[in-house]
Amino acid sequence: MKAIIYRHYGSPDVVTLEDQEKPQPRDHEVLVQVRAASINSYDWRHIRAKPFLVRLGGGLFQPKDIRLGADFSGVVAAIGKDVKSFHTGDAVFGSVKAGAYAEFVCVPDDRLVRKPASVPFVAAATTPMAALTALQGLRDKGGLKAGQRVAVHGSSGGVGSFAVMLAKAYGAEVTAVTRTRGLQHALSLGADHVVDSTKVDFTAGQQYDVILDVAATRTAREYHRALAPQGRYVMAGFSTLPHMAGIMLQGPRLARDGQWLGNMGMATITTSDLDVLAALLADGKVTPVIDRSYRLDESREAFWHYEREGVLGKIAITVS
């Protein structure tokens, strides 16, 4: 089968399309014939080995696992002997640790769900990791409730776009904070208010019940002043390690009773939350925004686009 791999860290030029052996499902795995995949920060950071902490788990000098790609959608081609929930021919989507940029991928049966018939494969493939990060950040860490004021800082990318749509689906009043290019994009997602981060400091005026921060370009003290009493700040992405470290170290000291400032960590891939997303997709309450689609053999160009051009929404990779 054809698959995208990388044998060294570096620029997107390290990405190559090669012939690899078709995987075989283990007892609790499902073999999926991939129809589409998508790019996340997670994938790009593994190629670039940024931050350096990526190397501690993935290989100090070169990647231990040469496969790439987390999010996917496709059709079940085979199942392991202990798999009960899926059958050959089922349309599915989900997320794996690596291997989705390929014609076939083996997936543990607790990391995928059935794709709604009304949802295109490309849309489903752009959903899991980014939307789960937004969902779990808002709902679990942020404690989001209907009627609350929510700010999404960095609302133009994958996580931020899903966060705006999910916050609206949960009944929040949403302010999208983004650069000038993303303002109309945020309004099209349903944001009630937009703030141009190149011109206005959103932490200096309004206070919010929940701040979901994908950009992390300001200090913990600045974010804290933008929190309402009982407010919660959730870091779901970061620009630099110093910013991330500063928020994680100072946030707990600044938070008053009932407040919380902290990092949500990696999204947890669960069938229950994937089912939540599947229902929202089927109902049209969440509609993935696809900046551009590339073929599997154009994955190198897709990563250069992701790195250089300021993506609005997600980049998809289609597999024929």
Distance, CA of 280 to CA of 133 (rounded, Å): 15
Last-in-domain residue among 227, 247, 263: 263
Last-in-domain residue among 247, 263, 279: 263
Q: Is residue 52 part of a domain?
A: yes
Q: Is residue 305 part of a domain?
A: yes
Q: If you compute the radius of gyration of the chain from its CA atoms, what whole number of angstroms results?
A: 19
Q: Is 145 in the same domain as 257?
A: yes
Question: What pLDDT sits at residue 54?
Answer: 82
Q: Is 76 in the same domain as 166?
A: no
Low-confidence ranges of the chain (pLDDT < 70): 239-243
Question: What pLDDT sits at residue 57?
Answer: 83
82 near 30, Cβ under 8 Å?
no
Q: Is residue 87 part of a domain?
A: yes
| Residue that the structure tokens 């980049």 belong to | 315
Question: What pLDDT sits at residue 251?
Answer: 76
Q: Is residue 311 part of a domain?
A: yes
Question: What pLDDT sits at residue 242?
Answer: 66
pLDDT tens, 211-234? 999 988 888 899 999 999 999 999
Question: What pLDDT sits at residue 216?
Answer: 85
Question: What pLDDT sits at residue 218?
Answer: 87
Q: Is 167 in the same domain as 245?
A: yes
All residues at 6 or more sequence positions from 189 whose CB lies less than 8 Å from its CB, including other chains: 155, 161, 164, 165, 168, 176, 289
Q: What is the CATH number of the domain that holds 259?
A: 3.90.180.10
Question: What pLDDT sits at residue 217?
Answer: 87
Q: Is residue 276 part of a domain?
A: no
DSSP-H helix ranges across 199-239: 220-225
Q: Is residue 158 part of a domain?
A: yes
DSSP element (H, E) containing 125: helix 121-125
Residue-range definition of the domain harbouring residue 205: 129-263
Question: What pLDDT sits at residue 240?
Answer: 65
Q: Is residue 274 part of a domain?
A: no
Q: Is 293 in the same domain as 246?
A: no
Q: Is 249 in the same domain as 154?
A: yes
Q: Is 25 in the same domain as 109?
A: yes
Q: Is 18 in the same domain as 106?
A: yes
Count structural domains, the chain.
2
| Cβ atoms < 10 Å from Cβ of 286 | 26
Backbone angles phi, psi at 13, to 5 degrees: -65, -15
- What secondary structure letter does DSSP report for 136? I
Q: Is residue 234 part of a domain?
A: yes
Q: Is 38 in the same domain as 159?
A: no
Q: Is 70 in the same domain as 145?
A: no
